[in-house]
Amino acid sequence: MSIIQDKEFANISVDELLIPSEKVAHVQLNNPLEHALLVLVKSGYSAVPVLDASYKFVGIIGKTAILNQILGMERFEIEKLSEMRVKEVMSSDIPTLTREHSLLDGLNAVIDHAFVCLVDQDGYFDGILTRRAILKQLKKDIYMNSYKK
Ligand code: 2BA
């Protein structure tokens, strides 16, 4: 049986590997780009979730998108960092999962994204599932499977 058809991986819900919202660096829709860049540089992450004022998930924003946005013909137009808001630059067409999804759904999601955001049925942000967490679990299951043989 292949490892991803194995019960352990397919039946674990993403809930078990979730990084909870309180531990996730995030920014808000109306924050100036300057604040978002500060959060990204200070945290070391290349992209973080964007939430609205009621803590609903609305998209993600990354360093590259911000730098592209302020790049003029000959220089970085630094003044734009205080003039522009996160909502003008963020990506909003981003897939999400809920706590009930399986790790297999999580594995599919992190093929194209470094992390996937988890929301509840009303769209409130629950946390993230990272590529690292999925790969660690996959590695664990591969080892356990090889001992079974
Ligand atoms: P990246 O920032 O591009 O990070 C890629 C990988 O580099 C991370 O993979 C992690 O293994 C490592 N890394 C980067 N910054 C780190 C830091 N400050 N501390 C420890 N390790 C760090 P993953 O752990 O799979 O994370 C995938 C993506 O999820 C990250 O991509 C970032 O965009 C987001 N992320 C992870 N943890 C986060 C958190 N607590 N808050 C906000 N975003 C987070």
- Is residue 64 in contact with ligand 1, taking CB distance under 6 Å? no
Residue nearest (by alpha carbon) to ligand 1 atom 9: 132
Q: What's the chain's average pLDDT?
A: 93
Q: Would strands 47-51 and 96-97 be described as parallel, antiparallel, or unpaired?
A: unpaired
DSSP string of 66-117?
HHHHHB-SSSB-TTHHHHSBGGGT-B----EE-TTSBHHHHHHHHHH-SEEE
Distance from residue 75's CA to the centre of ligand 1 (Å): 29
Closest CA to 33 of 69, 58, 71, 59: 69
In this prediction, residue 52 carries a pLDDT of 98
The residue extents of the domains of the chain are 3-148
Whether pLDDT at 34 is above 60: yes
Phi first, then psi: give them for residue 59, nearest 5 degrees: 165, -165
Task: Out of 3.10.580.10, 3.40.50.300, 3.30.110.40, 3.50.50.60, select the CATH number for domain 3-148.
Answer: 3.10.580.10
Distance from residue 44's CA to the centre of ligand 1 (Å): 8
> How do residues 116-143 score in pLDDT, each as one tens digit?
999 999 999 999 999 999 999 999 888 8
Q: What is the pTM of this model?
A: 0.91
For residues 12-36, average pLDDT: 96
- Is residue 124 in contact with ligand 1, taking CB distance under 6 Å? no
